[in-house]
Structure 1
Amino acid sequence: MAYKIVLDAGHGGEDPGAIYKDCKEKDDNLSLALAVGKILEDNGIDVVYTRNTDIYQTPFEKARFANEAGADYFISFHRNSSQKPGQYNGVEVLVYDKKGIKYQMAENIVGALGELGFKELGVKERPGLVVLRRTKMPALLIETGFINSDKDNQLFEEKFQEIAKSIADAILGTLDEETLESPLYYRVQTGAFRNRENADRMLYLLVDQGFPAFILKENDLYKVQVGAYLQLGNAVNMEQRLRDAGYSTVIVTR
């Protein structure tokens, strides 16, 4: 299967992100996104960048860009910061929720960076982040160390190419696992539309109500579905929640 991945270099333009000494987060984010993208492209991945120059985009624009590109994954690059220099150090990956292939990919990335010497802060849920909530595909946000940590900065500078390769290898390894295993998931479908705009309206309503919804295109239909569960009982529970919220539902498998 050919994958399309949108890589997002966080911040940009008039938004520098976090700043420490001579380091600006937006520059580190762009350098790493391009380096990871080059490795992915060399391995047959269709890579699309939200930016490859120093421009600013709102989080909503980034999410819309990824959705319109029809991407299979969205990965955003950032560097962390804290109130006091040297207060914290380590890497973490943020996801909408700890479910599905995005969670496995996030775990793999954290582990790969940990092997390079970064402290592993783990995978954390951040459902309020626009680029994780508004994207219609599995989405991750990588915090590659604290920009105001001298220890993390030394690792970032001295092992930059290794960091890029470790992240790319973790992504590629996760995609290989997905292709080989392909487990059966139960999903709750709330609608199937020939018109994409109708599907989008239902999707945004579901997401605003806190449901982990997405759109799947099959046979010229845009299917709005919620969740991906290995256990039928979990799908049944979600179906009941959706029905209580006024949706017509059917449980499907994939």
Structure 2
Amino acid sequence: MRLCLSRFAAAFLALILGGATGSASAEPLRFSTVVIDAGHGGKDGGSAWNGLIEKKLCLDVARRVETGLKSNGLKTLMTRRTDAFVALEQRARIANRVSSSVFVSIHFNGSRKTSIAGSEVYYRSPRGKAIATSLGRSLKSGVPGATRGVFYGDYKVLRETDMPAVLVECGYLSNKREARRCADPVHRQKLADAIIRGLLAVRTK
């Protein structure tokens, strides 16, 4: 995943700002719609490792999240439904048109240090942190593999969205063992289910 902040800078900011998983407001959030942002697309393939392309996996998980949220009575809006390039500022504009909503951007990771594995969740605002913490717990309890934590991230899609927003890194495609898991539709469904559970856990009607 490549946005506007390097992974090393994001990790450094997380340490400075106390972004590692910790207590966040347990106060439930009111929202009726989830804006689901499948990362990358079109000319922007994202990370490509071990025969996998990030943009395809992002869209697959996003569709699974959409199906699950709808079955739980929530409205959804996808920033992309096909293999199309959507600029980051356009994704934010799409989201900002929707009232009573939260924003979830779905990605997969990659690193030259191929031993790194695990999911990560990023937030920028206090209400975003509440969602990120809930998602982090759900991923840890419901998805095989490591969970690296919840971190502050100054990503453009988090900075320019008006609603509570999070960015989920579902795993490192650069790690061979994790790539094998991510290639499995059963594992991707577990990722989607964990995202759904985390959102429902923090929501109040």
Q: TM-score, normalised by structure 1?
A: 0.65
SS at match of 1:64: helix
For residues 171 and 202 of structure 2, the distance between their equivalents in structure 1, rounded to whole angstroms, comes to 22
Q: Which moved more, 1:153-162 or 1:23-32?
A: 153-162
Match of 2:149 among 105, 115, 122: 122
- Deviation of 1:153 after TM superposition, in Å, equals 2.1
Match of 2:123 among 95, 98, 115: 95
Q: Check whether the contact 2:52–2:179 (CA below 8 A) recurs between aligned residues.
A: no
**What runs of 5+ residues in structure 1 fail to find an aligned partner?**
180-254
Q: Deviations over 1:123-164 (max 9, x none)?
A: 11112x110000000010000010111222233324222221
Corresponding position of 1:145: 171
CA RMSD of aligned residues (A): 1.6
SS at match of 1:74: strand
For residues 75 and 94 of structure 1, the distance between their equivalents in structure 2, rounded to whole angstroms, comes to 10
Corresponding position of 2:79: 50
For residues 89 and 104 of structure 2, the distance between their equivalents in structure 1, rounded to whole angstroms, comes to 15
C-alpha change, 1:2 and 1:21, in structure 2 (3 Å) is closer
SS at match of 2:105: strand
Structure index of larger Rg: 1
- Deviation of 1:112 after TM superposition, in Å, equals 1.6
Q: Deviations over 1:16-75 (max 9, x none)?
A: 000013210000000000001100011111100000100001110100111123351010
**What runs of 5+ residues in structure 2 fail to find an aligned partner?**
1-29
Q: TM-score, normalised by structure 2?
A: 0.79
Corresponding position of 1:8: 37
Is the counterpart of residue 171 in structure 1 residue 170 in structure 2?
Answer: no
Q: Which moved more, 1:31-40 or 1:166-175?
A: 166-175
C-alpha change, 1:16 and 1:31, in structure 2 (3 Å) is same
Is the counterpart of residue 70 in structure 1 residue 106 in structure 2?
Answer: no
Match of 1:30 among 39, 53, 59: 59
For residues 104 and 136 of structure 1, the distance between their equivalents in structure 2, rounded to whole angstroms, comes to 15
SS at match of 1:87: coil
Give the counterpart letter for 1:122 in structure 2: G
SS at match of 2:203: helix
Is the counterpart of residue 154 in structure 1 residue 171 in structure 2?
Answer: no
Q: Percent identity?
A: 30
For residues 31 and 160 of structure 2, the distance between their equivalents in structure 1, rounded to whole angstroms, comes to 23
For residues 188 and 161 of structure 2, the distance between their equivalents in structure 1, rounded to whole angstroms, comes to 28
Corresponding position of 2:90: 61
Give the counterpart letter for 2:170 in structure 1: T
Give the counterpart letter for 1:49 in structure 2: M
Count matched residues.
Answer: 173
- Deviation of 1:2 after TM superposition, in Å, equals 6.0
Q: Check whether the contact 1:91–1:121 (CA below 8 A) recurs between aligned residues.
A: yes
